[in-house]
Amino acid sequence: MDETSGRPFGVYPMLYAFWRPDGSLDEAAMARQVEHVVEAGADGVAVLGLVTESHRIDARERLDIAALTARLLAGRAPLSVTVTGETVAEQRAFAGDARAAGADWLIFQPPLRRPLDEAALIAFFAEIAEGFDCPIGIQNNPEHLANAFDADGLLRLHREVPAITIAKAEGPVVNAEPLIAATAGTLASFGGHGGIEHTRLLRAGADGLIPAPDCLPLQVKIQRLWERGTPEARAEAEAIEAALLPLIVFMNRSIDVLLTYGRQFMARRLGLAETFERFGPPATAFGRAETDRLYQALIETEARFLPGAA
């Protein structure tokens, strides 16, 4: 978060939810995850996106995750909380509770089950955005959400609802670039989809990335190298990205793949003995073998590009 402008930037990993066998939140595992992302140098932390399985849990559990994460962070990094709900009242109520629990800024998600046309979607976000005393944004994910804007629609939203100053724009970079170019200086833009186009997004002028934390230390390094701005630094950033792409593509083929295999991948990174699938399909033997191969490749990439990495 820029201390002068209050504008968020950089890499904000979206945390996984870790569950115990009885379906309750594994607070010890969540604590390990928070420490990992802080030690990796993340610019902030995000919760309650699709990676946190917010679409599968109720409002009480979502708020518990947000409040726990805020307590674990203890002010060491800004906290972004994604807000879901089918109605304006539902989202505004949860957003107020999230702010009270420690959220520094909010991302509002469009309704998941109620189709809206563009005009209705703009009106929905305009009503939600009114009156909050923190930066607010929206999640726009045409590949995974039923309601989404095209690039022109996002521009119209930005013009009609100036309180929205952040966009998590998760479509192809060629669709996000016109929005970034047209709103430079007034709208902070973040990519998603695991960082599959991280350097292209930065070249287009995006402010950062909201990925799963699978390869976070290297994605933080990509961000820092790009900010350095020299041809040599940016070439190294692109080389790191190229090495990460097999892992990112594997994890982002579907939400179920990301949640089943990504959570197991992250559990291994955190040194957890095991993790549990509360909602999704179990891992297959082939999937576990592929994840093992990708894990070993990541360790080798970190050894190459991160000084002191094991």
Q: How high is the pLDDT of residue 155?
A: 84
Question: 276 falls in which pLDDT band (50, 70, 90)?
Answer: confident
Report whether 80 contacts 12 (CB < 8 A). Answer: yes
Q: How high is the pLDDT of residue 171?
A: 80
Residue type, 48: L
Residue type, 188: A
Cα 115–chain centre separation: 24
Sign of CA dihedral 24, 26, 27, 33: negative
Pick from 71-85, 265-279, 293-307: least confident: 265-279
User: In the β-sheet with 208-209, what is the strand arrangement from edge to edge?
Assistant: 10-11, 208-209, 188-191, 164-169, 136-140, 105-108, 79-83, 45-47
CB atoms closer than 10 angstroms to residue 302: 18
What average pLDDT does range 183-204 have in this prediction?
Answer: 91
d(CA 117, CA 289): 43
Report whether 83 contacts 92 (CB < 8 A). Answer: no
Q: Quick check: 3 pLDDT over 70?
A: no
d(CA 122, CA 149): 9
Q: How high is the pLDDT of residue 257?
A: 93
* pLDDT digit string, tens, across residues 88-125: 999 999 999 999 999 999 999 998 888 899 999 999 99
Class of domain 10-305: alpha beta
Question: 18 falls in which pLDDT band (50, 70, 90)?
Answer: very high
What average pLDDT does range 252-274 have in this prediction?
Answer: 93
Average pLDDT, the chain: 92
Residue ranges per structural domain of the chain = 10-305
d(CA 244, CA 131): 41
**What is the full DSSP assignment across 61-112?**
HHHHHHHHHHHHHTTSS-EEEEE--SSHHHHHHHHHHHHHHT-SEEEEPPPS
Residue 130 half-sphere exposure, CB side, CA atoms within 13 Å?
8
